[in-house]
């Protein structure tokens, strides 16, 4: 699906003012494209605030409203659980930092409908891991796919996180021991700030500069441009509502090897939103074809996470290493079920990707563009 410049202007108009309603003339094809883009970015709520939802058929409108409401209810449920988890960690003096949706809802939006939460993402220091797990087990969490106890858990450096934790209500917690790399972890904790909400709830947050770096990394090169326009809305809103130290942001990004990626992303925001002005020294030229491809991949990328993993060198060459098996099971001893489970997972992902590449031209185009853009972002 090619996104026309006219459609892009409508998208950014909605992001800039979610309650805009100036869409009297819109064709069924344009409406279809807008729905695809907002759904890809898990941002269907904007279809409702902008009034576009009224232009769908009665049944489609009803289905969308039901879906939007269910997502908001689920976000409320998860957010409520996060408060309980945070209080338990506070009482055990375990330092953690809420990531992504939790941070954004607590500090930026204060409206769960704008930024849905699918699970609880936390950053924990590796030296606190066992204490953290013991606390989580005490309040009813277990490893989703393993019956091991905290004292028997073995951490693997293959992934940035540990196996998912889950409680009896099906709420997932993704526990990160690293964000991007060890250097960024140090930056996060060095620049973090504390906010007290009550006598038994005090939270640490990463700085806005580091939050922007994390959001852009997560939306682009982490899993292959699979977050959609919600990432643009996130960074745009942070820039609008907070004073950002751009030299500090760029110096941090450069130290992480991410400066070029940050420049590309900020260029989109600078050119698309009139009331955000970023120094030209940090921008990519507006007519740069790579910038246009970069923007298209963010808005609607068919090359999903499977193709990214397939073509990611580290994932490919270390897929059957001991560390890879350990990262999924958490057990130092790899069992036959562990082995066959991972083999099946990798083979099925591989076959799915090969099938999609062979049958879907747009998928092939996006796989190629993701690879080309990643090479550009990794270059000097």
| DSSP 3-state percent helix, strand, coil across the chain (nearest 5) | 60, 10, 35
Task: Render pLDDT for 1-33 as a digit per residue (tens, 0 to 9).
Answer: 568 899 999 999 999 999 887 777 788 888 999
Q: What is the pLDDT of residue 298?
A: 94
Q: Is 98 helix (H, G, I), strand (E, B) or coil?
A: strand
Q: What is the pLDDT of residue 317?
A: 66
Q: Is 117 helix (H, G, I), strand (E, B) or coil?
A: coil
In the structure, what pLDDT confidence band is assigned to residue 380 with cuts at 50, 70 and 90? low
CB 239 within 8 A of CB 262: no
Rounded Cα distance, 352 and 333, in Å: 30
Q: What percentage of the chain exceeds 70 in pLDDT?
A: 96
Task: Render pLDDT for 93-144 as a digit per residue (tens, 0 to 9).
Answer: 999 999 999 999 999 987 888 888 999 999 999 999 999 999 999 999 999 8
As given in the structure block, the two tokens for residue 1 are 């699906």
Q: What is the pLDDT of residue 231?
A: 95
Rounded Cα distance, 195 and 123, in Å: 16
What does pTM read for this prediction?
0.91
- Residues whose CB falls within 8 Å of the CB of residue 240, separated by 6 or more in sequence, listed in order: 273, 275, 276
In the structure, what pLDDT confidence band is assigned to residue 347 with cuts at 50, 70 and 90? confident
Least confident among 49-63, 266-280, 302-316? 302-316
Q: What is the pLDDT of residue 1?
A: 56
Rounded Cα distance, 222 and 215, in Å: 10
Q: What is the pLDDT of residue 379?
A: 73
Q: What is the pLDDT of residue 291?
A: 94
Phi-psi category of residue 88: left, alpha or beta, with phi > 0 → left and psi -120 to 50 → alpha: alpha
Rounded Cα distance, 58 and 372, in Å: 42
Average pLDDT over residues 50-70: 93
Q: What is the pLDDT of residue 315?
A: 62
Positions of E strands within the chain: 96-98, 120-124, 142-143, 165-166, 172-176, 193-198, 201-205
**196 beta partners:** 202
**pLDDT over 80 (residue 330):** no
């Amino acid at each position: 699906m090619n996104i026309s410049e006219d459609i892009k202007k409508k998208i950014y108009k909605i992001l800039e003012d979610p309650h805009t309603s100036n869409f009297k003339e819109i064709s069924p094809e344009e409406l279809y494209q807008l729905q695809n883009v907002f759904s890809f970015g898990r941002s269907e709520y904007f279809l409702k605030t902008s009034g576009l939802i009224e232009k769908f058929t009665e049944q489609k409108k009803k289905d969308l409203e039901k879906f939007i409401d269910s997502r908001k209810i689920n976000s409320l449920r998860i957010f409520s659980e996060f408060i309980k988890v945070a209080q338990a960690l506070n009482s055990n003096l375990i330092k953690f930092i809420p990531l992504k949706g939790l941070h954004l809802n607590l500090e930026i939006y204060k409206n769960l409908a704008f930024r849905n939460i699918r699970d609880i993402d936390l950053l924990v220091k590796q030296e606190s891991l066992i204490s953290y797990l013991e606390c989580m087990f005490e309040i009813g969490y277990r490893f989703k796919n393993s019956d091991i106890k905290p004292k028997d858990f073995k951490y693997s450096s293959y992934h940035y996180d540990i196996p998912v934790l889950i409680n009896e209500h099906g709420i997932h917690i993704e526990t990160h021991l690293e964000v991007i790399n060890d250097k960024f972890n140090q930056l996060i904790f060095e620049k973090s700030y504390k906010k007290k909400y009550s006598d038994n709830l005090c939270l640490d947050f990463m700085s806005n500069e580091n939050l922007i770096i994390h959001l852009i990394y997560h939306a682009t090169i982490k899993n292959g441009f699979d977050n959609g326009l919600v990432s643009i809305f996130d960074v745009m809103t942070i820039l609008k509502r907070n004073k950002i130290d751009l030299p500090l942001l760029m110096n941090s990004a450069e130290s992480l090897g991410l400066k070029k990626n940050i420049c590309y992303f900020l260029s989109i925001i600078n050119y698309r939103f009139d009331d955000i002005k970023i120094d030209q020294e940090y921008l990519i030229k507006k007519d740069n074809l790579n910038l246009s491809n970069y923007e298209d991949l963010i808005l609607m990328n068919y090359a999903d996470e499977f193709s990214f993993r397939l073509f990611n060198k580290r994932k490919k060459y270390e897929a059957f290493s001991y560390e890879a098996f350990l990262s999924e099971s958490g057990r130092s001893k790899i069992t036959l079920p562990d082995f066959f489970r991972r083999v099946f997972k990798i083979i099925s992902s591989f076959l799915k990707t090969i099938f999609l590449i062979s049958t879907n031209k747009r998928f092939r185009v996006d796989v190629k563009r993701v690879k080309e853009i990643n090479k550009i972002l990794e270059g000097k």
